[in-house]
């Protein structure tokens, strides 16, 4: 879930045989990962933070022969449905009173980046949007962008 949020991953970009995260996409020395995007989005390289690297190293030690980063208990690539069910269980444990779905992680990433002050073009590149109109929805709910409006003595 951490990687889905921080890298704005669609569920199929995190798991699944088509685009799921693979160990050979990790560049340990460079502290980066290649993200293969779905739906015609632009793939690209993202930096990895210290906590992500620690968790990935622990996971790799548990799964030394796996091709994919996220696998089922049987050692097969995790399905998107399994992630959906896992997220539902986590939401219930957290006491959330809303129906949670995986794509919320991607949206949360976009809204978080906007609220941190990153510009729309940077967020577009990060999320792999080819058309900026898909990124603009995140800026529409950010009231902070109006704080510097000078109303003078009105």
Q: Which of 6, 7, 10, 37 is catalytic?
A: 10
Q: Which of 103, 137, 144, 145 is catalytic?
A: 103
Element (H, E) at 34: strand 32-35
* DSSP state at residue 9: -
Distance CA 89, CA 110 (A): 24
* Residue 60: active-site member: no
Q: Which of 6, 37, 46, 129 is catalytic?
A: 129
* Residue 107: active-site member: no
Q: Which of 39, 85, 121, 130 is catalytic?
A: 39
* Residue 106: active-site member: yes
Question: Rounded to 10 degrees, what is the CA torsion of 121, 122, 127, 129?
Answer: 20
The CB density around residue 100, as the number of other CB atoms within 10 Å, is: 16
CB 105 within 8 A of CB 6: no
Cα 113 to Cα 5, 40, 45, 59, 130, distances in angstroms: 11, 22, 17, 27, 18
Question: What are the structure tokens assigned to 10, written together?
Answer: 């669609």
* Residue 101: active-site member: no
Q: Which of 6, 37, 46, 106 is catalytic?
A: 106
* Residue 7: active-site member: no
Q: Which of 7, 37, 68, 138 is catalytic?
A: 138
Query: Which residues carry out catalysis?
Result: 10, 39, 103, 106, 129, 138
């Amino acid at each position: 879930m951490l990687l889905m949020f921080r890298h704005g991953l669609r569920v199929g970009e995190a798991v699944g045989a088509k685009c799921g995260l693979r160990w050979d996409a990790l560049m340990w020395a460079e502290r980066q990962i290649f993200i293969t995007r779905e739906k015609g989005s632009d793939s690209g390289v993202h930096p990895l933070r210290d906590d992500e690297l620690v968790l990935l190293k622990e996971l790799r030690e548990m799964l030394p022969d796996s091709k994919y980063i996220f696998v089922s208990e049987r050692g097969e690539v995790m399905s998107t449905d399994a992630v959906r069910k896992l997220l539902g269980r986590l939401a219930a444990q957290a006491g959330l009173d809303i129906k949670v779905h995986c794509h919320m992680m991607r949206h949360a990433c976009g809204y978080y980046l906007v609220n941190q002050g990153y510009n729309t073009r940077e967020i577009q590149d990060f999320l792999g949007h080819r058309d900026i109109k898909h990124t603009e929805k995140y800026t529409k709910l950010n009231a902070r962008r109006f704080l510097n409006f000078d109303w003078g003595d009105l």
